[in-house]
Structure 1
């Protein structure tokens, strides 16, 4: 955010007010797989991009699109207009090329296909307190996602994409030398378990999610060649006990629910742990003063859009719930970007 000065300026107002322009430019580039195609070709002229993507707009529109992405830092450019040659900047080449294992575009694809439209109803969500997604047609949002194979695949890729950097950091920074087993609750495609196993050869991990997700997780596990130490298991963490392990992880799970259900899930994790075991929640933990982690606060509003009653939380909130459940102590481990691992020890 722009620092406050004594002189008024409309700059920040216009920057935030037109933020959906910038968002849609990036989301459109991802939906076109522009960065993947550029990674394959290494460099492209605007006319080549136009032809490859099948664009029917004017050349000037293409220049505006590519040059804006350049100013944003996603592309690099040599020359100008007709002579310009474009290539991926390092971040886009690493994280937005669909052919690389580091691809995080799944969450951006879901934002473009689902959330962009739903967020247009944020005002209605605030006025009514009701979700603004598919649940407007059915009360069971997660049921709708899990019964549609295409929606489930998109959702799984999105959850993997938004957390991949956190999973890699967590796998390398957490004190796994004290433990041997881990279960990831709501593990989706199994990437957290895979990252932990990759960086910690002694660890045995289980990715636990609803039955429709198990084939997706198994395919990912086979892709990484870690089936000897990473398994997928099926079940409903609300209706059955959480599998026992020395470390129980929930990534982007607690924030889906209201406070009562958050505490209930933490109690289930507590029951699954041995003495000195660790429960870990990986999310955009909001700073206690609520002045810095704007991503966490926006994600919390996204939970209004998605669930109506879910919300993101501060470490102080987490400590209070951990105390209610009976955990012995807590700590906070910063991860990638605005996310952290809130840890409670039994």
Structure 2
């Protein structure tokens, strides 16, 4: 049941007000990440308000309320007048951890938060109301070092949460080569290669990402088994591989473009291999608000994108000639659809 459905009649107004104030909760978190609160407390340990004001770009006027707000959100703890990161903040908001999502938060603050101010307009027009939603604007963004770094960190945050689950979702020992289509700077395949030392990988993405890929896979220690092929997946040939991945890709495009990409990717799978598709796919009935919000993100920041159901992905695979399709959860936020290609 929803929060509103569970509320008693005389509390309905309060419940609606809490929903209306949801943007305040989000901005508390986003501001704390931007100001470096969680990193600072991880480095220095429990600290007083005065100590945090001295170390951070934080004015005394709002500091107490800001810190108390983070306590009430469950992001900080307060004991004996000192603030410390909660367990959740230590896991998700301190750089260096496997579950760190700071890159996503930075991108959300600068890209998604402003876009959501135009939700009513987007729902009326059916078009993105964000500046720079098209392919040309995307490539221009990649040409800006500051914006590119934000984008790369956001993508690392998103696929880093998937990598461990994907590493156990397939019998990788039966395959030698994986190709990640739209794989950005190779964070996902880098994690797979570290877990499966016999595996080799190719990332296919825009040429603007090649240097970032080389630097990242070197830092991960897998550069000897990972290669990059530059191109546009709508117009250029895809690399053949035993396993081909379309992860967090299809939701950026129209239905017709998705059908085209699935068919093209399936042709790139070698006999006996598999095509892996994952996204925050929608259920047939509205059961997961987080996935619905991801789909609305696509409305606001892409020209024709949205989330889709596993049934729709299955249909695209079947139209491409795949007769062996499996659907499974992929961690808490994504769904995996696996289409296998016969050996002959």
Give the TM-score of the pair, scaled to structure 2.
0.92
User: Aligned residue for 2:107?
Assistant: 110
* SS at structure 2 position matched to 1:246: strand
**Aligned positions of 1:306-325 closer than 5 A:** 306-325=301-320
Instruction: Quote the offset at 1:75 in angstroms.
Output: 1.5
Instruction: Quote the offset at 1:195 in angstroms.
Output: 1.3
Equivalent of residue 96 in structure 1, options 83, 87, 93: 93
| Between 118-127 and 170-179, the greater mean CA deviation after superposition | 170-179
| Between 298-307 and 95-104, the greater mean CA deviation after superposition | 95-104
User: Aligned residue for 2:120?
Assistant: 123
Distance in 1 (alpha carbons) for counterparts of 2:112 and 2:22: 15
User: Aligned residue for 1:14?
Assistant: 17
Distance in 2 (alpha carbons) for counterparts of 1:256 and 1:194: 23
* SS at structure 1 position matched to 2:68: helix
Residue 278 (structure 2) pairs with residue 282 (structure 1): yes
1:168–1:192 CA contact under 8 A, matched in 2: no
Instruction: Quote the offset at 1:271 in angstroms.
Output: 1.0
Residue 141 (structure 2) pairs with residue 133 (structure 1): no
Q: How many residues align?
A: 338
CA RMSD of aligned residues (A): 1.9
Residue 219 (structure 2) pairs with residue 234 (structure 1): no
Q: For each residue in 1:221-258, what CA deviation from the matched residue of structure 2 results, as whole angstroms up to 9, or x when unmatched?
A: 11111112222332211111110001111221100000
Distance in 1 (alpha carbons) for counterparts of 2:169 and 2:104: 24
Distance in 2 (alpha carbons) for counterparts of 1:139 and 1:333: 31
Distance in 1 (alpha carbons) for counterparts of 2:40 and 2:303: 38
Q: For each residue in 1:240-297, what CA deviation from the matched residue of structure 2 results, as whole angstroms up to 9, or x when unmatched?
A: 11100011112211000000000000011111012232111221111122x2122221
* SS at structure 1 position matched to 2:241: coil
* SS at structure 1 position matched to 2:339: strand
2:178–2:241 CA contact under 8 A, matched in 1: yes
User: Aligned residue for 2:77?
Assistant: 76
User: Aligned residue for 1:296?
Assistant: 291
**Aligned positions of 1:211-290 closer than 5 A:** 211-289=207-285
User: Aligned residue for 1:42?
Assistant: 45
Instruction: Quote the offset at 1:119 in angstroms.
Output: 1.0
> Which structure 2 residue ranges, 5 or more long, are not aligned?
none
* SS at structure 2 position matched to 1:330: strand
Instruction: Quote the offset at 1:23 in angstroms.
Output: 0.4
| Between 18-27 and 161-170, the greater mean CA deviation after superposition | 161-170
* Deviating 4+ runs (over 6 angstroms): none
Distance in 2 (alpha carbons) for counterparts of 1:219 and 1:333: 33
User: Aligned residue for 2:328?
Assistant: 333
User: Aligned residue for 2:67?
Assistant: 66
1:25–1:69 CA contact under 8 A, matched in 2: yes
2:327–2:335 CA contact under 8 A, matched in 1: yes
Instruction: Quote the offset at 1:111 in angstroms.
Output: 1.1
Give the TM-score of the pair, scaled to structure 1.
0.92
Instruction: Quote the offset at 1:345 in angstroms.
Output: 1.6
1:27–1:109 CA contact under 8 A, matched in 2: yes
User: Aligned residue for 1:192?
Assistant: 188
* SS at structure 2 position matched to 1:173: coil
1:145–1:152 CA contact under 8 A, matched in 2: yes
1:169–1:335 CA contact under 8 A, matched in 2: yes
Instruction: Quote the offset at 1:103 in angstroms.
Output: 2.6
